[in-house]
Structure 1
Amino acid sequence: MVATSMIKEEEKKASKPRMKSLKTRVQRIKADMGKIREDQRCIREEQRDIGERFGDVKRQCHELRLETEMIVKQSAFNRIRLGLMFNILRARQDGDFDKATAFTGFLSSISDAGKL
């Protein structure tokens, strides 16, 4: 019986350091989990911010594309008008006033349509 009680006492002594190291490990793991949780929260916030910035960039890209298309159309329209003006001047120089009148009427009609 004495031997059994001595063994139990020795087991208690041996288990106390194990329990202490186990508690320390559990506390360390909990602290690590808390840090990981905080890191994940920061990552989610950064992803949200990046998503918003990406949306802004995408919207600005769309606006620039629309502006570019409008500039290209306006440039083509201006080239047509300049070509007609050149033809009007050439017809007048050649004395072909019927042709100059026709070009002038056409220029007037497309200029009015361009204002709409």
Structure 2
Amino acid sequence: MNHLSNVLIRKRRFKKMKRRNTKDMESKLQKLREEMQEIGAEQRSIREGQRKVREKFEAIEAECQTLKRETRLVIQQSAKNKIRLAIMFRIFKAREEGDFAKATELTRLLREMVVRDNMLMRAPASDE
């Protein structure tokens, strides 16, 4: 009987341990679920932040392209103005020297440049 009572005592202890282990496992699983929910929320927040950064970057990139295009146009216009001024100066010099044929030719060239530039300005802008 002594042996039988020892066996019963051991069985009861095992059942208690098993119940305690099950409760411990359930509490650990609950903690893991809560942590997973927190991690999921953090990941959604990170994805949202990345999306916003990407949108800002794309807007900045578009603005940069616009500024590059405008800068290129300003540089081209400046170069054209320098050429026109040089031609005007040569017209002035030719007239001053009495070379009216040369002054007439340079004036014709200047007019052609102005007409061509005006036509280009009226033409629809093509996206590059």
Instruction: Give the TM-score range, shorter chain.
Output: over 0.9
> How far apart in 2 are the matches of 1:20 and 1:97?
109
Normalising by structure 2, we get a TM-score of 0.85
The answer for the alignment partner of 2:48 in structure 1 is: 45
Residue 74, structure 1, aligned to residue 77, structure 2: yes
1:55, distance to aligned residue in structure 2 (A): 1.0
Encode CA deviations 1:36-78: one digit per residue, 9 max, x unaligned.
1111111111111111111111111111111111111101110
Q: Return the structure number with greater relative CO, CA threshold 8 A, min gap 6.
A: 1
Q: Report the aligned-residue RMSD.
A: 1.1
The answer for the alignment partner of 1:104 in structure 2 is: 107
Structure 1 unpaired stretches of 5+: none
Structure 2 unpaired stretches of 5+: 120-128
In structure 1, give the amino acid aligned to 2:36.
M
More deviation, 19-28/99-108: 19-28
Moved over 3 A (4+): none
Instruction: Name the one with the larger helix percent.
Output: 1
In structure 2, give the amino acid aligned to 1:98.
A
Normalising by structure 1, we get a TM-score of 0.94
1:6, distance to aligned residue in structure 2 (A): 1.3
1:2, distance to aligned residue in structure 2 (A): 2.4
1:101, distance to aligned residue in structure 2 (A): 0.8
Aligned residues: 116
1:30, distance to aligned residue in structure 2 (A): 0.7
1:16, distance to aligned residue in structure 2 (A): 2.5
